[in-house]
Copies of this chain bind each other. A is one copy, B any other.
Amino acid sequence: MCGVFGVYGHPEAANLTYLGLHALQHRGQESAGIAASDGRRLTLHRGMGQVIDVFTPQHIDRLKGTNAIGHVRYSTSGGSLLKNAQPIAADSTRGSVAIAHNGNLTNAESVRHQLEETGSIFQSESDTEVIVHLMAQSRQGSLEDRVADALTRVEGAYSLLCLSERKMVAVRDPLAIRPLCYGTFPDREGAFVVSSEPSSFALVGAEFKGNLAPGEMLICDDTGVRHSRPFERKSSRTCIFEYIYFARADSVIDGISVYEARKNLGRALAKHDSVQADVVIPVPDSAVPAAIGYAHAAGVPFEMGLVRSPYVGRTFIEPEQSIRHFGVRLKHNAVSEVLRGRRVVVVDDSIVRGTTSRKIVKMLRSAGAREVHLRISSPQIAWPCFYGIDTPTRSELIAQSHTVDEINQYLTSDTLAYLTLEETQRAVLAADEAGRSTDGGATLNGHAHALNGANVRNGNWEAPPDRFCHACFSGDYPVPFQDTPRPRQMRLLDI
């Protein structure tokens, strides 16, 4: 998972991008970078680690110009190396360009092979560099045409920002798998901002204006901002996991409030749940709204039975001897006073390998919980993601090879329950602002209202076929691929 953020036409472009990346930090802590342009040249700085560690005031000061794009990265394609950090930039006779990419291309390896066969030299293992090379070979003239030309040759998920000396282009793939939205600055006319999530706008003082539609392109230059649709029109298949786990709770993605979606998921969990509990607790922070939703619906008291260390997220020295449940204790600790002697429902958003959930169940028991009932606010993850999320290979996914009963046994929980895919989709759709509002105001991408409003209100619900990508639950991959996309590992190591 990654995050992108861009500012056009603002004298503090690099500084605002720095803040925007900070607000997107939950989307990637491995590396960060900003490219800025001042009309004549691009300046670039990238580093490993969190935004706050990568940039000094001197860097921000040297990132001159009124335009900037930034990137935070959690490795999905290419190893955890500085050369794979983004934005990726290149200089050519036609000028310089920098690219920041959230998502993952599914045919990067074969295109790369073709390019290398004719003499292209790659500097990184990143699939994003393929786009840079395709742009360099494009015979098109303008930045936007070269971007569109290059993208016709790639497949997969991308929310992309491109910066040249004088232009910024934002584009979202034809299925709109990864989020991308835009806004303006109330106190600075002509300035424009693009971001993976609208929750990042508050910190920089910007106002949300809309989401990019599937395959939509925004072009910012000194004539203003204009929309373009270089690709064929498709219906969106936004990643449903953004609502379940990735996005920040205060974001509204394509018209759906993440907070509300999560509360709905929690309510859905409670709906058919017959377990008798004394207390409902979340695994913080992502599962808090779902646990609140569960508690409200089930009428069971909500408590914070697990506290989360606010200081985790960077490299940590582990003790040599095996301290039991070390990793999970570093992040969470149980509050005995809430748990002792109680029947506890603990709500989490998902189970990947099952190891963390198992440690949490044991931690709750050793803090005195009489019963531990684990409730997952999504279906079983049984398929890897090839569109930008760093899931393990299929064999490591516990739900790929185990039934719910077997998983429950492994986790040592008293009971375990997931949502069905239908419940999940329904709960998320129910948080659509268009659907909930009485006036049903048009959303930017237009199709949302008609599509969902009807279905959600319809008692005889039928999952809309094309609103979400749910491949990780269903194996139904909206972008086909021939063989499993594997990232390229270079034989050249720069230390």
Q: Give the interface of A toward B (CB within 8 A).
A: 11-12, 15-16, 18-19, 22-23, 25-26, 29, 40-46, 50-52, 55-57, 59-60, 62-63, 89-93, 95-96, 98, 113, 116-123, 132-133, 136-138, 165, 199, 202-205, 248-250, 252, 257, 259-260, 285, 288-289, 292, 295-296, 301-304, 307-317, 319-321, 323-324, 326, 329-330, 333-338, 431, 490-495
Known: A120-B119, A259-B335. A52 touches B314 (CB 8 A): yes
Chain A contact surface mostly: mixed
* Nearest neighbor of A56 in chain B, beta-carbon distance: B317
The answer to whether B117 touches A93, judged by C-beta atoms less than 8 angstroms apart, is yes
Residues of B within 8 A of A96 (CB): 490-492
The answer to whether B137 touches A132, judged by C-beta atoms less than 8 angstroms apart, is no
Least CB distance from A440 to B in Å reads 16
**How far apart sit A495 and B257, CA to CA, in the bound complex (Å)?**
39
The answer to whether A323 touches B491, judged by C-beta atoms less than 8 angstroms apart, is no
The answer to whether A337 touches B493, judged by C-beta atoms less than 8 angstroms apart, is no
Interface centre among A52, A62, A138 (most CB of B within 10 A): A52
Least CB distance from A89 to B in Å reads 5
The answer to whether A23 touches B309, judged by C-beta atoms less than 8 angstroms apart, is yes
The answer to whether B310 touches A302, judged by C-beta atoms less than 8 angstroms apart, is no
**How far apart sit A315 and B12, CA to CA, in the bound complex (Å)?**
19
Residues of B within 8 A of A308 (CB): 310
Residue among B59, B89, B113, B334 making CB contact with A250, cutoff 8 Å: B334
Residues of B within 8 A of A205 (CB): 323-324
Interface centre among A138, A205, A301, A492 (most CB of B within 10 A): A492
The answer to whether A492 touches B119, judged by C-beta atoms less than 8 angstroms apart, is no
Residues of B within 8 A of A431 (CB): 337
The answer to whether B44 touches A492, judged by C-beta atoms less than 8 angstroms apart, is yes
Residue among B62, B132, B202 making CB contact with A495, cutoff 8 Å: B62
Known: A120-B119, A317-B15, A493-B44. A303 touches B292 (CB 8 A): yes
Interface centre among A292, A316, A329, A336 (most CB of B within 10 A): A336
The answer to whether A57 touches B329, judged by C-beta atoms less than 8 angstroms apart, is no
